[in-house]
Amino acid sequence: MKKFLTLAGLIVAGLTVTSIQSVAEENQICACVGKVTGRTRMIAEQRKCRRRETRICWNATGPQGPTGNPGLCSCEISGEEYDALVARVEALEAGFACADNDGDGFSALSCGGTDCDDSVDSVFPGATELCDGIDNNCDGESDEGCIPQDVPHLVINEIDYDQEGTDLLEFIEIFNPTDSDVNLAEYKVELFNGGVNPAGLYRSFDLASAGSVLPAGGYLIIHSSSLALPADTSALAIDMLSDMNNIQNGSPDGVRISDSAGATVDSLSYEGEITAAATSQPGIFPLTEGSATNVFDSGSGTICRCPDGADNDDNSTDFVLCDVPTPGMSNDCL
C-alpha cells in the first residue's frame, strides 16, 4: 500500500518544524489553535487539543484548483517509509514537550531529547569531557581527550623500563599537576621488586637532589646516565649514575612517590598486581591503585598518563601505552 504525503508547518512554543500528515480520501486535516497566543500546531486527525486550545479541521480534498508551486516534498512513499516518518515527527513533538530536569539546556533521551543524563547538569552534548569515567559530552565514549580533574599532588606521569636489546634509555617522569610549586624536600621515589612477598624496596631517590621545588606544570626525570634529555625541556633531573638496567622489568614490579611520613602519594604496579609492599619502616601497603594496568612496556613505547596528570586512582584507566617516549615533555597520547 502507498500513501501520498504533503508537508505542513508545525508550530510548537514558537519553534517551527515539519509535520507529515496523511492525505487520503475522506480524511481531514486538523489543528489546535491557542486561545491566548493564537499559535497553531497541526495534529493527527484523531488527536485531542489541549485545554487552552481550540480544535479546527478542514477537508483534505476538494475541488481541484490550479497547480501550485512545488512544495518541500511531492513524493510517493511506501507504508513502511510513511510509518518511519510519522515516528520521527512524534519524537520531535515529544522532544519539544520534554522537561530539562537538570537545567543544562538539554532534555532527556527518554522523551526524545539529547541529554544522556538529565540528572547531572555537567553532562550534555558538547560538554567538556572530564577524566571521571563518565560520558560528559554524550558522544557514547568516556574520557576521550579528557581534561584532568584537580589532582592535589605529584604523580608518576610516564615510565620506560624496557627497551629493545639492552635497557639503556630507562626513565621515570614525575609531573606536578597542581597550580602551585611543590617543595621537593618532602618527597622520594621508591622502586619495588614484586618477585618477593611483600614486594621489597630495591632503590630510592630523594627528589630534593634535583632542586628545591617543582614548579606547577613542571616535570622531573629520574633517568639512566645514557639517556640524553631533550634540549628544549626545562625538566629537573636525577641521574641514576648507571648506563643500563636501572629499573626492573616487572612480572610484577612497582614504583611509588612517598612523603616525609612514609605515606604513599602516588603508586603504580606494572606487569601485574602488587597488593602488599614494604620498606624498612613499619607497615604494609599496596602499589596497585584500583586495578592493575593491562598495558606493558614491551621494548618500544612507554606506560604513560593521557593527558598529563590525569589521575582517577586506578592504574587500569589512568595509564595507557604511548608509542613515543617523551621525557620532560607532554606525553605522546594516541
- In a domain, residue 327? The reply is no
Compute the distance between CA of residue 300 and CA of residue 125 in angstroms, rounded to an integer: 37
Instruction: Say whether both 166 and 282 belong to one domain.
Output: yes
Per-residue cell: 243: 648506563
Instruction: Say whether both 121 and 260 belong to one domain.
Output: no
Instruction: Say whether both 209 and 293 belong to one domain.
Output: yes
Contact in structure between 263 and 186 (CB atoms under 8 Å): no
| Exposed e or buried b per residue across 197-214, where buried means at least 16 C-beta atoms within 10 angstroms of its C-beta | ebbebeeebebeebeebb
Per residue in 75-107, pLDDT (tens digit) is: 566 777 777 677 666 656 554 556 788 888 888
The answer for residues whose C-beta is within 8 angstroms of residue 70's C-beta and 6 or more apart is: none
Compute the distance between CA of residue 177 and CA of residue 194 in angstroms, rounded to an integer: 28
- In a domain, residue 332? The reply is no
pLDDT at residue 17 greater than cutoff 70: no
- In a domain, residue 331? The reply is no
Peptide bond into 252 cis (omega under 30): yes
| Percent over 70 (pLDDT), the chain | 81
pTM: 0.60
The answer for residues whose C-beta is within 8 angstroms of residue 8's C-beta and 6 or more apart is: 18, 19, 20, 21, 29, 42
Residue range of the domain that includes 273: 155-322
Task: List Cα–Cα distances, 191 to 51, 59, 175, 272, 278, in angstroms.
Answer: 74, 84, 17, 15, 11
- In a domain, residue 178? The reply is yes
- In a domain, residue 291? The reply is yes
Instruction: Say whether both 182 and 239 belong to one domain.
Output: yes
Instruction: Say whether both 62 and 191 belong to one domain.
Output: no
| Mean pLDDT in residue range 207-212 | 98
- In a domain, residue 272? The reply is yes
Instruction: Say whether both 10 and 87 belong to one domain.
Output: yes
Read off the CATH number of the domain in which 269 is found.
Answer: 2.60.40.1260
pLDDT of residue 250: 84
Q: 73 or 49: which carries more pLDDT confidence? A: 49
The number of distinct structural domains making up the chain is 3
- In a domain, residue 308? The reply is yes
Burial (Cβ within 10 Å: 0-12, 13-18, ≥19) of residue 112: middle
Rg (the chain; Cα; Å): 32
